[in-house]
Chains A and B, each alone.
Chain A
Amino acid sequence: MKVDRRTFLKLTGAAATTTTFAGLGFNVSQAKNQAGELKTVDATATTTTCHYCSVACGIIVHSSDNKVIYTEGDPENPNNRGALCSKGSAMRQWTDNEQRVTKVKYRAPGSTDWEEKSWDWALDKIAQRVKDTRDQTFVEEEDGITVNRTEGIASIGSAVLENEACYLLVKMMRAMGLVNIEHHARI
């Protein structure tokens, strides 16, 4: 859900409820303030939920020109009503963070370093590896029962993926015959 600054201020101040079924994202001229304009005044506000624990606090991401300039608790979200802990408050630093990996990296056997690669190169290479390992370790039948099982490959992760990504991952891995499918919930 995207809201401009004025709507956001209104939401923040009012106890009124809202029903929305889609990202809004409209533009209204900025709110007039008696005080100085806030640093977020021209930003777009997008609602998300916290990426850390499972309380699922609502968070508003204020962004401008594809850059995050501020994040804060969503006062509308019933779980947190605007509150955030240290981790939730720090989520903004995921962006503009030099630690982020921004290129596909590859490490050859025995190598001491990463090499940067293109997505195309890496994805095709991975697909070949998957096929090789699957074909080598695939068990089609066991005691007369079709088992379609690939034990040579394992998939681990992840409880930080969205439901939609989790689902596609499961669908893909099961179709490839994987049974070594696990993630955070086990540990």
Chain B
Amino acid sequence: MPKSILIDVSKCHGCRGCQVACKNWNDLEATLTQFEGSYENPTRLSAQTWTRVRFIEQTDGGLRFLFRKDTCKHCTDASCMAVCPANAIYRKDKTGAVIINRDECIGCKNCVTACPYQIPQYSKTAGTVAKCHLCNEGDRDRIGNGLQPACVSSCPTGALIFGDRAELLNDAKARVNHLARQGTEAYVYGEKELSGLNVFYILDEPSETYGLPAKPTFTDNDVFWLAKWANILFGTGLLTAIPYYLFFNSEEEPQDLEADDEESNSSEKEVS
């Protein structure tokens, strides 16, 4: 039975308890930031920031101040897993959590490029990629120990709920109906996307407004065979690693480059 986090933006008031709780539980360092025109900070995920709250000011159709916790969605169709040449990314059977084994990670950044949500983040210092493991790994395995993920525990308003995915989906639909009765048009994002996100949302604006693609794609499609081929070569020691983005014709630069710089900056100038 997959475990899920339901993120209900209609209940989030942007206190960012979850953002710090994640750092606290996972011993992630503070990074050097600067004001970049909004409350939002750090302005991107990094190997030291696995979750953050996005702040959005919406003016169309009346002023709104929107908040969305951004984090790994633990997708059923997880591109990161599919493109990893080192088999360093695995799924926990019991929970559905998608986890990077940093001991196995070779730092090729394929997953960084492939993720439709720009979640995995490369650390230059560690030479590996890091992201949220749903508090389901090693001595940080809260959910394996009957606890909730650290972010969920910290949430005051029920904007984050942890539980069995099927039950949460029902709860989410009930909440959507409840909101509809109050005149708010809301919907579930992540029920079917990528065959189902394990961390999914109740949204009350178009997903793009919240910075989520309306149709996230499993980016493995075009070159899946290449990744497999690379895996085989890697597995037989014929090739150390083929960066996936060499094959994949991305219109964007790999998302992590900026984060990369930030990370290297921050490791020198971290504020702790």
* Interfacial residues, chain A to chain B (CB-CB below 8 A): 9, 12-13, 31, 33-39, 41, 70-73, 75, 80, 82-86, 88-90, 92-93, 98
B16 contacts which of A71, A72, A85 (Cβ < 8 Å)? A85
Does the CB pair A82–B153 fall under 8 Å? Answer: yes
Give B19's nearest chain A residue, CB to CB. Answer: A86
Determine the residue in chain B with the shortest Cβ distance to A71. B24
User: Would you give the shortest CB distance from B99 to chain A, in whole angstroms?
Assistant: 12
Residues of B whose CB lies within 8 Å of any CB of A are: 15-17, 19-21, 24-25, 137-147, 150, 153-157, 272
B157 to chain A, nearest CB (A): 8
Q: In the assembly, what is the distance between CA of A31 and CA of B144, in Å? A: 13
Closest A residue to B15 by CB, please name it.
A85
- Describe B's contact surface by its main secondary structure: helix
Residue among A13, A90, A93 with max Cβ neighbours from chain B (10 Å): A90
Q: Are A35 and B17 in contact (CB under 8 A)?
A: no
Residues of B within 8 A of A12 (CB): 146-147
Contacts of B137 in A (CB 8 A): 36
Which of A38, A72, A92, A98 lies in contact with B154, CB distance below 8 A?
A: A72
Residues in chain B near residue A88, CB distance under 8 A:
17, 154
Contact yes or no, B25 A36, CB < 8 A: no
Contact of B153 among A41, A73, A92 (CB under 8 A): A73
- Within the assembled complex, what's the spacing in Å between the Cα atoms of A89 and B155? 10
Nearest neighbor of B153 in chain A, beta-carbon distance: A82
Q: Min CB distance, B12 to chain A, in Å?
A: 12
Across-interface contacts of B146 in A (CB, < 8 A): 9, 12-13, 33
Distance (whole angstroms) from the CB of B139 to the closest CB of chain A: 4
Contact (Cβ within 8 A) A86 B16: yes
Selected from B141, B153, B155, B272, the residue in CB contact (under 8 A) with A38 is: B141
CB distance from B168 to the nearest CB of A (A): 19
Measured CA separation A12–B142 after assembly (Å): 12
In Å, the complex CA distance between A85 and B150 comes to: 12
Determine whether the beta carbon of A39 is less than 8 Å from that of B24: no
B138 touching A84, Cβ below 8 Å = no
B145 to A38, Cβ gap below 8 A?
A: yes
Are B145 and A35 in touch, CB under 8 angstroms?
yes
A70 touches B139 (CB 8 A): no
Q: How far is the CB of B51 from chain A (nearest CB, A)?
A: 12
For B155, the chain A residues whose CB sits under 8 A away are 83
> Inside 8 A of A84's CB, which chain B residues have their CB?
17, 21, 154, 156
